Amino acid sequence: MTANALSATELHVTFRALQGRGEVRAVDGVTLDLRTREILALVGASGSGKTTLSRTLLGLEQPTSGAVTALGEPLPTGGRAMRAYRRRTQLVMQDPAGALNPRHSVYESVAEGIRLHRLVAEHNARGEDVTEVDLVSGALASAGLRPPERFFLSSPHELSGGQRQRVLIAGALAVEPEVIIADEPVASLDASIRGEILALFLRLRDELGLSLMIVTHDLGLAWNIADRVAVMQAGRLVEVGDTEDVLLRPQHEYTRELLAALPNEQHRVR
C-alpha cells in the first residue's frame, strides 16, 4: 500500500497565552492524512487552528506532542534533511503581493528555489542537459504563464493578481515538489480568476501527480475542488470525509453552520 503523502497523528501544538496567562491549544489532538494524488480541503473559520496545523505539517512550527510523517517517514528535525523535506513539500501563501519581493523580477523569484536546491546540477548529474532558463520556463508554463519568456523581466507590480498568484505557484513547482499546501490561495482574487486558479490546481494533481492541501474558510471552494474535506473548529477536527458526504450530509453542527453561510447556488469546476 502506498504511504500517505503527509500524516498527522495525535498532533498537539500549544502556545503560551498573552501575558503568560495559561496556554492556547492551537491544534488539539489532530489525526489527519493527506493521501497521494489527492486534493484535501482543510476548512474552518479564522482562529480554528488550520493555519497552525498546516505550518506544523510543513515543519515551520514544532508540535508540542504527536507526530508528523511524510510518505511514511518521520518529519526531519533540521539540517540537510529538513531542506530536502521543504523542497518536497511547498507552501503557496495567501497574499502574492506580500509574498513576492517587489525588487525581484518574475525570473528571479522563480529561480530562487532552483538555485537554493541546486537543481541544474542535479539534472545534469542525471545526464539531462538543462539550464536554469529551461527550469524557470517550465515552471512558469506549468503555472499557466505562457509564453514564459514574456514574464521573465516583469516586476510584481506590473502583473494582475491572478498572474502574481501563478508566479507563486510557479516558484513552488520549480523545485519539483510532491506536496503543495496552499493557504487561502484565491481569497484575494476576483471571482473570474478564482475558477482559473482552482482549475490549475486540479490540472497539477492530474498531470503531475501532486498531493495538495487547500487551507480555506470557504466550503464553496472545497465543493469545487476537493476530493475530501476536513473541518476544523477550535483546534480540533470535527468532521472528515469525502466532499459530497461532508457537504451534502454534514454530521456536525459546526459544518452545518458553515454551510448555512454559503450562497444558495454552487458551481463546480470539476
Q: 3, exposed or middle or buried, with CB in 10 Å at 0-12, 13-18, 19+?
A: middle
Provide the pLDDT for residue 72: 85
Answer whether 221's CB lies under 8 Å from 212's CB: no
Provide the pLDDT for residue 265: 45
Residue keyed to cell 480555506: 216
Provide the pLDDT for residue 71: 83
The grid coordinates listed for 51 are 493555519
Q: Residue 69 pairs with which residues in a beta bridge?
A: 7, 74
pTM of the model: 0.93
pLDDT at 74 over 50: yes
Give tens-digit pLDDT for 34-51. 999 999 999 999 999 999
Give tens-digit pLDDT for 120-179. 999 999 999 999 999 999 999 999 999 999 999 999 999 999 999 999 999 999 999 999
What's the CA gap between 238 and 221, in Å, rounded? 19
Residue 7: alpha-carbon gap to chain centroid: 15
Provide the pLDDT for residue 270: 38
Provide the pLDDT for residue 39: 98
81: amino acid identity, one letter: A
For residue 76, give the 3-state DSSP assignment: coil
**Contacts (Cβ under 8 Å, ≥6 apart) of 268:** 223, 224
Higher pLDDT, 18 or 79: 79
> What is the DSSP-derived secondary structure letter of residue 38?
-
Q: Can you list the alpha helix ranges (DSSP code H) found in the chain?
A: 50-57, 79-88, 96-99, 106-116, 119-125, 132-142, 161-173, 191-208, 219-225, 243-248, 253-260
pLDDT at 188 over 90: no
- For residues 211-234, give the mean pLDDT: 95
For residue 77, give the 3-state DSSP assignment: coil
What's the CA gap between 14 and 2, in Å, rounded? 31
